[in-house]
Amino acid sequence: VNIPRKEKDFQGMLEYKKDDEPKLVKNLILDLKPRGVAVNLIPGLPAYILFMCVRHADYLNDDQKVRSLLTSTINGIKKVLKKRGDDFETVSFWLSNTCRFLHCLKQYSGEEGFMKHNTPRQNEHCLTNFDLAEYRQVLSDLAIQIYQQLVRVLENILQPMIVSGMLEHETIQGVSGVKPPGLRKRTSSIADEGTYTLDSIIRQLNTFHSVMCQHGMDPELIKQVVKQTFYITGAVTLNNLLLRKDMCSWSKGMQIRYNVSQLEEWLRDKNLMNSGAKETLEPLIQAAQLLQVKKKTDEDAEAICSMCNALTTAQIVKVLNLYTPVNEFEERVSISFIRTIQVRLFFAPH
Amino acid sequence: MQDHQHQEEGEEKEEPSPESAFEKSPFQLTAEDVYDISYLVGREILKISSEPQGEAPTRVAQLQFKIVRILEMLEALVNESNLTVEELKMERDNLRKEVEGLRKEGPPGNA
């Protein structure tokens, strides 16, 4: 990438010959590495450069050139995502840059609503000839598509870690009283020493977060991605809890609460407590609490019904049915107790 | 806490914080470290240039592009030297093997 040397009389535009458009797109989009000196120092650089090219075409009042460049840009981004769409770094990079490009088209559209935070100099840089609102819509749809792809990639990476790291791996020694029973390996390709732990998950979250930050992704968008990540983690863990007898014990409840607290700690560390991510874990937290509370008297039943407001009746009953005492201090949940809960929730559903 | 442990153990290729690139020996630097440095410097620059102080942003921008150039040079040097080192190592190993092979197969006349 050639870095334009900024001098006083530059107007912040970039000119290119029409014949060079394919080369421009090749170097700026198709072949551009998501990690490099220039794009790391100035996150969003390709988006800014593309917009500066749009400005010059607008300045020439050349609608053909504007249309052609925007079409090539959008097709170029789609092409990259088709080719390397399973690579988190690439997808994150183009989500960030597509959003940045969209922001530029808004910020410099000349529409007053988008100019509130502009400096006078930035206002001088607004487009003068063309209204690109329709292209903004196309780019916005493209950004949604890339976001969905990002979530898919993220899910594929995280999925094999969750059950192992959140449920199977023992983080607290000696609570269960039994040696970890021959755990079924869901991820058969992974050898024993390669089993995922909570640390693997947290390290993976760190990687995701650091990549998105380095790409200069919007903080609001990062929050949304993190929330989605936590939702996936919570949902996969809870679903497995509801499917496996060996996961419904007092000590597993303890384990899950500890793991959840570590995830919360991570959010706090990254200043993401207001992302809504923590809230997505609520059903899992309540299921873990349900594993730990007393399950005998009518008062216990009442406490459970008011505590588990983020779980459905079916989920509550399922956990109680699966509940397996791991040591002599615990008892099975009686059928009459489960009936009591069912009746209560039937008449006072939450 | 945990991050540190893992860094110390050195099992993971991905370092959680880009900051660690600054602590490395220059001779162990990789292009990835240069990119981390680039990101960190870029953030500092952004902080300075977003403070409105008259002429400062323009001068910061000029500085910024010089830094990009310096880092691009650093990247090229790191890549080049790593490549050279690899090449020389391979050549050395090949020669070593050859010497051993020769020693084994034909005992010299005066042995």
Residue-wise pLDDT for B8-66, tens only, equals 333 444 445 778 888 888 888 899 999 999 999 999 888 887 776 666 677 788 888 88
Residue type, A268: R
Chunked mean pLDDT (size 10), chain A, 350 residues: 62 95 97 94 96 96 96 97 96 98 95 90 92 96 98 96 92 55 43 76 96 96 98 97 91 94 97 96 97 92 93 94 82 90 82
- In angstroms, the separation between the Cα of residue A332 and the nearest Cα of chain B is 37
Q: Which residue of A has its CA nearest to B42?
A: A41
Tell me: the pLDDT tens digits for A130-187? 999 999 999 999 999 999 999 999 999 999 999 999 999 886 665 554 444 444 444 4
B64 contacts A42? CB cut-off 8 A: yes
Instruction: Give dist(CA A63, CA A207) in Å, integer.
Output: 42
Distance in Å, alpha carbon of B90 to nearest chain A alpha carbon: 28
Per residue, the 3-state secondary structure of chain A, as one string, reads CCCCCCCCCCCCCCCCCHHHHHHHHHHHHHCCCCCCHHHHHCCCHHHHHHHHHHHHHHHCCCHHHHHHHHHHHHHHHHHHHHHCCCCHHHHHHHHHHHHHHHHHHHHCCCCHHHCCCCCHHHHHCCCCCCCCHHHHHHHHHHHHHHHHHHHHHHHHHHHHHHHHHHHHCCCCCCCCCCCCCCCCCCCCCCCHHHCCCHHHHHHHHHHHHHHHHHCCCCHHHHHHHHHHHHHHHHHHHHHHHCCCHHHCCHHHHHHHHHHHHHHHHHHHHCCCCCCCHHHHCHHHHHHHHHHHCCCCCHHHHHHHHHHCCCCCHHHHHHHHHHCCCCCCCCCCCCHHHHHHHHHHHHHCCC
Q: Does the pLDDT value for residue B7 go beyond 50?
A: no
pTM of the predicted model as reported, rounded to 2 decimal places:
0.83
A203 Cβ under 8 Å from any chain B Cβ: yes
Chain A residues in contact with B38 (beta carbon < 8 A):
36-38, 40-41
| A35:B12 CB<8 A | no
Euclidean distance between CA atoms A322 and A250, whole angstroms = 12
B80 vs chain A: nearest CA distance in angstroms? Answer: 16
